[in-house]
Structure 1
Amino acid sequence: MAEGRSFIKWAGGKTRYAAQLVAMAPPFTGCYWEPFMGSAAVFFELRPAKAVLSDANPELVACFRAVAADPEAVMAHLDALPNTPAQFAAVRAQDPASLGAAARAARVIYLNKTAFRGLWRVNRRGGFNVPYGAYDRPYYNRDTLLAAAKALAGVDIRVCDFADPLREAAVGDWVFLDPPYLPEGGFADFKRYTPGQFHDADHERLAAAMRDASSRGVLLTMTNSDTDATRRIYHDFRATRMATRRDINLRAAARTSSDLVLTNY
């Protein structure tokens, strides 16, 4: 079934847990906000009447906007890209600013499906630097991508820092936050989705922005690692453990873990 699914997979994304997280949603009456949208798995599961999706990664935002505007054009570009090491190298080397909207979106989806473990990692100059994954799989499912475009119609999709949506959200709105996690060790500690990393100081800033939003009656849910640092930084919020699996970890034994779900309700 195509409904309720994202068209991409994102490291740390919540596709596997989207239904569980939506079941934990508060009874909100306003707008849904997702400031670290990634694959926007919770958005696609929830299908809210009004939503604002945002991310600091401009390529991800450009991709979502193009899929919403013209999914057929995005698919046409993807159909023209063979899954070969040479093509991967050529696409990876492209300057996205030189591409049209549909081609730019196709580049994101193509790299997402063909790069090693689907990682989106960039260097300090913003250049994509993940190696070829040699996966034999389709770039997209037509029904899923068309359903995603339909769900995204009329949605406000922005490039911005997380602080902006938290500042703008109003009483009765629900904000779901899935930031780069506080370090646990190993491959779980992946945070270079943009040229600037996400550090402990950013988590302190996020916690402060959440406290401010909470004081205005904004409903909040955040997922993060189950660590002492997480519990300390976000001590103002109720913490519930959720069993998870770290597919990005190369060691099978290290993949089983748990996340914290932090709320103000």
Structure 2
Amino acid sequence: MSKPIIPWIGGKRRLAKRIIPLFPEHQCYVEPFSGAAAIYFLKEPTEAEVLNDINGELMNLYRVIKFHLDALIDEFRWTLVGRRQFEWHQNQTTEQLTDIQRAARFYYLQKTAFGGKVDGQAFGVQTDRGPRLNLLRLQEDFSAAHLRLSGTVIENLPWMDCIKRYDRPHTLFYCDPPYWGTEGYGVDFGLEQYALMADIARSIKGKMVISVNDIPEMRSVFDGLNIETAEINYTIGGATRSKKKASELIIRNW
């Protein structure tokens, strides 16, 4: 067991204790919307595991951590954490970067951006702790992720294709799609996609767990499946932090 290496909008680290105990026995574990893969990193490994996401930069980061750990760590040897460096990385074109340089750039931006956003990023400011990117812990965090990813297949497929490719009676899919009606993911995800996900959940051979925001539209789309409600506290704001309660739906197809 390790921990997620990057912050991610809508990440499930705080819901892991509710979600993981729901998992049935399985031989193959698949996340079609991996994001920061909080559940994957916090659960016990399975014989076969797959991380998938449509975000190519994210999946490149995981591949580089898996296959080029030392080279990635070297990219941060003389790194400074600050607004100017953040903006420089933001404006940097990626076409002429190596996969290792792209992974370092993506990690830097994701780690130092406010709120774990992928799209519309801004440099995150904190007055109650040090920088989010702790260079002293970086090697330890990357090394733990490297060991966790060593036996994992890393895909970059549309979510439906990923499910079709790995659907077996012994497969467990954990789907954490973008929250409908929110921004910051960098992809469009319309209501019809959730309806398709509900249809797939009802028809696949394997088991599926889905987590979405608790709104009437989601309750309607997934009606007929096993739906539970989970409350969670969110911390919002920058210098003046406050707590906000929200609820999420945890949906199962059994």
The TM-score, its normalising length taken from structure 2, stands at 0.88
1:235 and 2:232 aligned: no
Amino acid at match of 1:62: N
Query: Structure 1 residue 59: deviation in Å?
Result: 0.7
1:130 and 2:134 aligned: no
Contact 2:31 2:51 in 1 (8 A): yes
Counterpart pick for 1:148 among 145, 148, 152 = 145
Q: Matched residue of 2:75: which SS? A: helix
Aligned to 2:189: 198
Contact 1:78 1:110 in 2 (8 A): no
Contact 1:111 1:118 in 2 (8 A): no
1:32-43 alignment runs, 5 A limit: 32-43=29-40
Aligned to 2:82: 84
Counterpart pick for 1:164 among 161, 165, 180 = 161
Amino acid at match of 1:220: M
Aligned to 1:176: 174
- 1:149-188 C-alpha deviation (Å, 9 max, x unpaired): 11101311111111012212111210000001233xxxxx
Q: Matched residue of 1:211: which SS? A: helix
- 1:94-124 C-alpha deviation (Å, 9 max, x unpaired): 2223211221111111001212223211xxx
Aligned to 1:101: 99
- How far apart are the structure 1 equivalents of 2:193 and 2:64? 29
- How far apart are the structure 1 equivalents of 2:13 and 2:155? 21
Q: Matched residue of 1:79: which SS? A: coil
Aligned to 1:111: 109
- How far apart are the structure 1 equivalents of 2:151 and 2:241? 41
- How far apart are the structure 2 equivalents of 1:98 and 1:244? 42
- How far apart are the structure 1 equivalents of 2:108 and 2:214? 33
User: Percentage identity across aligned positions?
Assistant: 25
Query: Structure 1 residue 254: deviation in Å?
Result: 6.6
- 1:35-79 C-alpha deviation (Å, 9 max, x unpaired): 000111111112222111100111111111111112222122123
- How far apart are the structure 1 equivalents of 2:210 and 2:147? 26
- How far apart are the structure 2 equivalents of 1:220 and 1:249? 34
Aligned to 2:201: 210
- How far apart are the structure 2 equivalents of 1:104 and 1:232? 40
Q: Matched residue of 2:9: which SS? A: coil
- How far apart are the structure 1 equivalents of 2:9 and 2:251? 20
Q: Matched residue of 1:244: which SS? A: strand
Query: Structure 1 residue 249: deviation in Å?
Result: 6.5
The alpha-carbon distance between structure 1 residues 247 and 157, as it changes in their structure 2 partners (threshold 3 A), is: farther
Aligned residues: 245
- 1:167-226 C-alpha deviation (Å, 9 max, x unpaired): 12111210000001233xxxxx23x423x411112212222222231xx2x101000111
Amino acid at match of 1:226: D
Name structure 2 gaps, 5 residues minimum.
none
The TM-score, its normalising length taken from structure 1, stands at 0.85
Question: Which one is further off, 14-23 or 148-157?
Answer: 14-23
The alpha-carbon distance between structure 1 residues 252 and 83, as it changes in their structure 2 partners (threshold 3 A), is: closer
1:59 and 2:57 aligned: yes
- How far apart are the structure 2 equivalents of 1:142 and 1:20? 30
